[in-house]
């Protein structure tokens, strides 16, 4: 037989353990972004749990939708492209692709192009 916990008892128990849980009101939307997608939760119930200086958010309910993350066009500086091309003897397009692949890291882009011959 399973005994149900009284919500008041649960709250007192949490306080004794140094836990504090409060609802976050008027939440319209929660968005979780990853490199590959966005998870959008419409009209969720959100609670914040505080424990030893840490905040933990609990998100429940709501309508969940997922969509692919939008890739922002890489803004590689032309001077960086020229520098990589000059250092490696490659053309500007190859240098630009290497910089985009290396997220703008000049040293990595040069090494990548040099290792590919």
pLDDT at position 115 is: 87
Measured on CA atoms in the order 94, 100, 101, 103, is the torsion positive or negative? positive
Whether 1 is covered by a domain: the verdict is no
Q: What is the CATH number of the domain that holds 62?
A: 2.20.70.30
Q: Which domain holds residue 87?
A: 78-115
Total number of domains constituting the chain: 2
Q: Note the pLDDT of residue 45.
A: 94
In a domain, 14, yes or no: no
Measured between alpha carbons, how far is 49 from 47 in angstroms, rounded to an integer? 7
Strand-pairing partners, residue 29, are 42
CA angle 113, 88, 76 (to 5 degrees): 70
- The one-character DSSP state at 73 is P
- Which of the four pLDDT bands, split at 50, 70 and 90, describes residue 92? very high
Average confidence (pLDDT) over 108-116: 89
CATH number reported for the structural domain that contains residue 104 in this entry: 1.10.8
Averaged pLDDT score across all residues of the chain: 87
* pLDDT tens per residue, range 4-19: 778 888 888 888 888 8
Contact status, residue 39 vs residue 66, Cβ threshold 8 Å: yes
């Amino acid at each position: 037989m399973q005994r149900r916990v009284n919500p008041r008892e649960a709250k007192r128990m949490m306080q004794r353990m140094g836990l504090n849980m409060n609802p976050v009101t008027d939440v319209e939307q929660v968005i979780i972004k990853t490199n590959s997608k966005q998870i959008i939760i419409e009209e969720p119930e959100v609670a914040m749990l505080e424990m030893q200086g840490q905040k933990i958010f609990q998100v429940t309910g709501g309508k969940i939708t997922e969509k692919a993350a939008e890739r922002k066009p890489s803004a590689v500086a032309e001077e960086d492209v020229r520098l990589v091309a000059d250092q490696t003897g490659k053309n500007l397009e190859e240098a630009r692709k290497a910089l985009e692949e290396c997220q703008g890291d000049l040293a990595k882009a040069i090494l990548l192009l040099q290792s590919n011959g």
